């Protein structure tokens, strides 16, 4: 599990494409402190397993499905990526619950300055947009953010200067693709209230509303 609080911006040093995936090498410093073989690292929000440690970074083996469902297919040497190690059991919990399982790829559409913060607008695919709610949480390239506005499949988030400094969101250009992970809690609510999937249960929309989950 991850929190969506980025620890470091790493750099893609190489991408070795294979028939059923790719070996991706990442250069970094900070997260190497206690990184071990087999550890999980979220790269731009996608959970990957460390398969090799090198002097100044690590390697992961991205499966074909990962390449198909994320922005990993866009990676080239020099690309800046957000990095976060899995949350330790004794660590403080910030951000929101992030699984590291990317739901889909969104498109960066425009930016507006609103004084202290910049407002970034994105277009989400339908399978992600249906879980987005105003003031809810979303993970963009591994960054935990709050929905500032929502209209159809277009949503916005407010980005303060510190977030821009500590993540690769500052490198986005109009039209760039980003990894999106919607709030896992929304998926569970959908599962519980779906009559087809929950025939034996007694959780309904009225039940959720009565107990304050929808208010």
* Enzyme catalytic residues: 2, 40, 47, 49, 63, 101, 146
**Structure letter (DSSP) for residue 171:** G
CA distances from 211 to 63, 185, 193 (A): 42, 16, 14
Backbone CA torsion sign across 94, 100, 101, 106: positive
| Residue given tokens 């991205």 in the structure block | 62
User: Burial letters for 134-166: b for 16+ Cβ neighbours within 10 Å, e otherwise?
Assistant: eebbbbbbbbbbebbebeebbbbbbbeeebbeb
Tokens of 140: 């963009």
- The residues, ordered by sequence, that sit 6+ positions from 111 with a Cβ below 8 Å of its Cβ are 118, 119, 120, 121, 174
Tokens of 197: 């999937």
Strand partners, 21: 18, 63
């Amino acid at each position: 599990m991850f929190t969506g609080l980025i620890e470091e911006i790493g750099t893609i040093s190489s991408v070795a494409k294979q028939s059923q995936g790719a070996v991706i090498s990442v250069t970094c410093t900070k997260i190497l402190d206690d990184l071990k073989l087999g550890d999980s690292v979220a790269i731009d929000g996608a959970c990957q397993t460390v398969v090799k440690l090198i002097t100044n970074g690590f390697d992961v083996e991205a499966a074909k499905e990962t390449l198909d469902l994320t922005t990993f297919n866009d990676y080239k040497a020099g690309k800046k990526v957000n990095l976060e190690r899995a949350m330790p059991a004794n660590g403080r919990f910030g951000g929101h619950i992030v699984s590291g399982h990317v739901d889909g790829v969104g498109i960066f559409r425009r930016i507006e300055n609103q004084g202290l913060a910049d407002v970034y607008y994105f277009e989400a695919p339908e399978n992600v947009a249906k879980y987005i709610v105003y003031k809810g949480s979303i993970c963009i390239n591994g960054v935990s953010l709050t929905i500032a506005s929502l209209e159809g499949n277009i949503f916005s988030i407010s980005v303060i200067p510190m977030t821009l400094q500590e993540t690769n969101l500052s490198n986005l250009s109009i039209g760039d693709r980003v990894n999106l992970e919607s709030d896992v809690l929304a998926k569970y609510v959908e599962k519980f209230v779906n009559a087809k999937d929950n025939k034996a249960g007694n959780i309904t929309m009225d039940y959720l509303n009565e107990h304050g989950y929808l208010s």
